[in-house]
Amino acid sequence: MLLDHIDSPADLKKLALSELPQLAQEIRQFLIEKLSATGGHLAPNLGVVELTLALHYLYDSPKDKLIFDVGHQAYVHKMLTGRMDRFHTLRQKNGLCGFVKRAESEHDVWEAGHSSTSLSAAIGMALARDLKGENNKVIAVIGDGALTGGMALEALNHIGHEKRKLTVVLNDNEMSIAPNVGALHNYLGKVRSDKTYRKAKEEFEALLRKIPAVGGKLAKTAERFKDGLKYLVVPGMLFEEFGLKYFGPVDGHDVEKLLDTFRQADKVDGPVLVHVLTVKGKGYSPAEADSLKWHGITPYKIESGQVVKPVGPPMYTEVFGNALIELAEKDERIVAVTPAMPAGSGLLGFEKRFPNRMFDVGIAEQHAATMCAAMALEGLKPVYAVYSTFLQRAYDQVVHDICRHNANVIFAIDRAGFVGPDGETHQGVYDIAFLRHIPNLVLMMPKDENELRRMLKTAVDYDDGPIAVRYPRVNGLGVPMDEDPQPIPIGKWEVVREGDYAAVLAIGPMVQVAEEAAELLKREGIGIRVVNARFIKPLDEEMLLSLAQERLPLLVLEETAVAGGLGSAVLEFYALHQIQSMSVSLAGIPDRFIEHASIKEQRIEAGLTAEHVAQELRAKVARVRQKAT
């Protein structure tokens, strides 16, 4: 096999051009086999095999900078840069990252788990190159879905202004994770299908080359005519208007055509855009037929394409989606908004049931937030369904447009807490810190899936401003579900276990961890009170004052960053009320990025297990007893 002899881009360059199609086939088979065991982003990588081969065959990585937007389509890049032997560790603790990672290889020059960053990185590296007097090439690969991100368009505008030599490769497969939406997507559809323009452009350029040089006037007239032809046959010629020389569309599965196009692009002294057409999931029929399902996949059976799913209660995402449908049946004001994540956010059922009340805005978290604010001010009940890690991108809009207006927007914050194999770029552990301090916002988290249903009912019934419910990327506990969920009084916690030695204030999945720790200590005669501190804002001030009167030692337990979390809020409360007698300890995620692993392993690393919590409480109770004597 050719693949057995590839351990670096230098090995790839030794192959004849005629051998690359066979290598592409072997790469696809390798990915299909390896990912059937580990899971991962299969469809995106099957779609960029020939494109990645062409890039590494022609360019000199890492001297030439290959920048992959998002990075989940860089598995082939990892294979060609010496990491094939570690693919069995993909997305596992201490194994290969599912995204580009600078610490893994000198060939990984830019890492990102969020979309639309590659073009800003490309112009930054091009500017750095020119200022240092170097001569390397800069190539950014961005998908047509990521191109809709505001940051990408801002960078595109700057690239055209700077006119630095760099190449933008537009990987156009008509998908981000879900099918793309919007005017730019429609524009690319016209370019994809407009063979008339491509033929006319080629013929006219050939004609111009045949005209003998007869002075500048004729040349200028010809150039103006050529520009007019562009406007005649393709409305806008968007990319050339941005200042980038446009090449394409080119078949992204034809290595020879790709190489020829990149060589032509390299002759341009300025920014160019190469429009490449690919098929997401190419080479594996289940992934080609349903690239949405196979974008990021759990382990599967290769022959049948059957996904191996664990048996158990539904995930919180599914519970959210079903509960929202039930609520929307009774309240016509409810609309759902998502930034390109209808499936991941559990909204496909809602979209099918209420197609006119479902809005997928593409990869545009900022726009989604401001749009929700406006809808709310006009009397609707917008539910902004977004992953915690992606909500970070809309922080200014949450402050300026939603909370400052006191707009009645409902945030459904999915993937709150650890996210497992997606790792540090996707951990949902910062939203409490960047939301809790914003005026007007209510923030809550359920201890189980039934309480999630109750919180959604609470949010829909709430009319006094923005309200957020955050929930984890795990299966529910399998608790009984109320047929008619009732709202929860705003700011009221609940005691789920009595005890008078110490108290644990816990949120979300940590309530169960606290109960398990309390059960361990019960065997030692230590009674621990467990409080479901389900409202992070506002706090249950009445209960906090009562705990202070009892002088009960407290441990605040949360699967979120300690800095700025619920524990910080509790300490702020006691400081504000000048209560200095309380012993308060904090257990959460330390001040560092937690890398990819299973959620269980990530909790062990952060000390968020029943055994660790029991140990902390045991020591805390012993210290209090020692002081008392």
CA 468 – CA 177 distance, rounded (Å): 25
Active site residue 199: no
CA 366 – CA 369 distance, rounded (Å): 5
Q: At what angle do helices 20-38 and 49-58 cross, to 10 degrees?
A: 120
Catalytic residue, chosen from 65, 83, 393, 415, is 393
DSSP conformational letter for 61? T
> And the tokens for 566?
């619920």
DSSP H or E run through 246: strand 245-251
Residue from 266, 270, 248, 268 nearest 257 by CA: 248
Residue from 607, 449, 416 nearest 513 by CA: 607
Active site residue 523: no
DSSP conformational letter for 492? -
Catalytic residue, chosen from 111, 174, 351, 365, is 365
Q: Strands 334-338 and 381-387, how do they pair? A: parallel
Contact 557, 496 (CB under 8 A): no
Find the angle CA(299)-CA(300)-CA(302) to the nearest 5 degrees.
Answer: 135
Burial environment of residue 207 by CB neighbours within 10 A (0 to 12, 13 to 18, 19 or more): exposed
DSSP string covering 428-452: B-SHHHHHTTSTT-EEE--SSHHHH
Catalytic residue, chosen from 137, 280, 381, 470, is 280
Question: Which residue shows structure tokens 């390798």?
Answer: 30
End-to-end CA distance of the chain: 75
Contacts of 311 (CB under 8 A, 6+ apart): none
Contact 141, 69 (CB under 8 A): yes
Active site residue 93: no
- Catalytically active residues, by annotation: 280, 365, 393
